[in-house]
Amino acid sequence: MNDSTPADIDQACTHAAAAADTLAATTAAQRAALLRGLATALEGARDTLVPLADSESHLGPVRLNGELDRTCFQLRGFADQVEAGAHLAFSEDAAVAGAPPAGRPRLARARVPLGPVAMFAASNFPFAFSVLGGDTASALAAGCPVVIKAHPVHPQLSRATFDLAVAVVAALGLPDGTLQLVQGAGVSVGVALVRNPAIEAVAFTGSFKGGAALQREANARPRPIPFYGELGSINPVVALPSALAANGAALATALAGSITLGCGQFCTSPGVVIVQDDAASQAFVQQLAEALSAAKPHAMLHDGIRANFEAGAARVQGHTGVQTRVAGDASAATPQPRLFVTDAPTFIGSEALHDEVFGPSALVVSTKSFDESLAVLRAVQGSLTVTLWGADTDTPDHRRLVRAAQGIAGRVLFAGVPTGVAVTAAQQHGGPWPSSTQAFSTSVGYAAMDRFLRPVALQDAPPWLVQAKGQA
């Protein structure tokens, strides 16, 4: 499909801007009807959309059907949240006679939709982080039109999904600017979209390089706008000796499954495993190597991602002080898992080893002590997740470990593996730079709509306005 032209992009943004006031004035019932209608339309087109997604992504019908179900779940979840008033966060203070600071005027604090949101679809989740994924759902829940930048890896699926969404918008009598679509593999398409003066915020899921470049564009505008980018992460796993002594084999199997899930193409795929140099940990690393050697991941999303994976794995493999435990074969038809081992001083001293290798690969860092494990964790830059196995008891060391994990991650796990991000009110999918551009926000879960709502204080407002803002 042809790239959208500058005129196409400008037209899409103009239509979105024209729809902004109407969308902002919609009731909770209208927004909920839209979100539920989109979910129903997706389910109704499952037999068409899933094979189309598989042909473009190689992810398989089982995974894609599950992802479609997740997408519908979160659309309906946002509908429930809007009906419950989650988008309002309304508060009111009665007037108090007298001069400040004891006295005050009557104040009501409400939230208003930002306006048109540019949403960049992700390559690795054709449904859940794409045309009708969480960014679109949360923006619509907030009352914002969305201009969708389709991902070039699945252009036909994006167009088919958009077309059914447009039909839902029309059937509900909402303006056609509610949802708009632009597409193209060229950098110029994304840059033009971010630069368009009608766009009030950007939601992005993708590579660090692409996201950082677009964030610079958002900040360089005459009127800068918020850029909510989720850029990837190495997601450290700290496996303490007590956990590995008690359950090492099962944990190795679970971790291998997480590393290879989706051929390692998850933003929460564990890329660094921190263990201490003891017998239980050595046995665990051997079991992990055996499990990874036996794994047979499917093809990656496209040749470019495969090439980047092989280059990243080769970079780690050739690094001084790194040993290869599972080598893989770069010439194999599908990617083969890789496992590397190094020590704490090598990892701490090398920025290159802190970079994400997007694919089924992990680096084990062996340490001499708890303090050294803590130093390795602190050397990691911002991460979406940190997993802590064995910190179940309340000890001074475990408290130190939890504080360190919270300092670099948006989500800290004490059991299980980081792949799999639940859609819920308590979720946080976003961490300190470079895992995301706005550590205080989340791109998954119902708090995601907060990104697209701006607080406004209404002082001595007439009763009709206060009532409307509290019941919208």
- pLDDT top residue among 67 and 469: 67
Average pLDDT over residues 3-15: 97
All CATH 3.40.309.10 domain ranges in the chain, comma separated: 237-413
What is the model's pLDDT at position 430? 97
Contact between 35 and 75 under an 8 Å Cβ cutoff? The reply is yes
Element (H, E) at 313: helix 303-317
- Which residues pair with residue 361 across a beta bridge? 338
Rounded to whole angstroms, the Cα distance separating 67 from 46 reads 11
**Residue of 300, 295, 297 whose CA lies nearest to 311:** 300
Average confidence score pLDDT of the chain: 96
Beta strands 453-459; 107-113: pairing state:
antiparallel
Fold of 6-231+436-471: Aldehyde Dehydrogenase; Chain A, domain 1 (3.40.605)
Lowest average pLDDT, out of 19-23, 326-330, 397-401, goes to 326-330
Tell me how far apart the terminal alpha carbons of the chain are, to the nearest angstrom: 40
- Tell me the pLDDT tens digit for each residue of 342-395: 999 999 999 999 999 999 999 999 999 999 999 999 999 899 999 999 999 999
All CATH 3.40.605.10 domain ranges in the chain, comma separated: 6-231+436-471
- Tell me the pLDDT tens digit for each residue of 109-141: 999 999 999 999 999 999 999 999 999 999 999
Q: From the CB of residue 187, how many other CB atoms can be counted at a distance below 10 Å?
A: 11
Q: Is 13 a catalytic residue?
A: no
Q: What is the architecture of the domain spanning 237-413?
A: 3-Layer(aba) Sandwich (3.40)
Q: Is the peptide bond before 105 cis (omega within 30 degrees of 0)?
A: no
Residue 90 has pLDDT above 90, yes or no: no
- Tell me the pLDDT tens digit for each residue of 197-208: 999 999 999 999
Residue 60 has pLDDT above 70, yes or no: yes
Average pLDDT over residues 75-89: 95
- 395: which 2 tokens? 């000890």
Please say whether the dihedral angle defined by the alpha carbons of residues 42, 45, 47 and 51, taken in this order, is positive or negative. Answer: negative
- 104: which 2 tokens? 């005050």
Contact between 243 and 252 under an 8 Å Cβ cutoff? The reply is no
Residue 470 has pLDDT above 80, yes or no: no
Confidence of residue 471 (pLDDT cuts 50, 70, 90): confident
- Tell me the pLDDT tens digit for each residue of 162-178: 999 999 999 999 999 99
Confidence of residue 467 (pLDDT cuts 50, 70, 90): confident
What is the model's pLDDT at position 472? 66
Rounded to whole angstroms, the Cα distance separating 205 from 410 reads 16
**Which residues, 6+ apart, have CB-to-CB distance to 295 below 8 Å?**
256, 257, 260, 337, 360
What is the model's pLDDT at position 2? 84
List the catalytic residue out of 56, 67, 200, 230. 230
Contact between 120 and 149 under an 8 Å Cβ cutoff? The reply is yes
What is the model's pLDDT at position 284? 98
Residue 406 has pLDDT above 90, yes or no: yes
List the catalytic residue out of 56, 267, 356, 372. 267
Q: Is 230 a catalytic residue?
A: yes
**Residue of 262, 285, 264 whose CA lies nearest to 360:** 264
Rounded to whole angstroms, the Cα distance separating 466 from 461 reads 6
Residue 1 has pLDDT above 80, yes or no: no
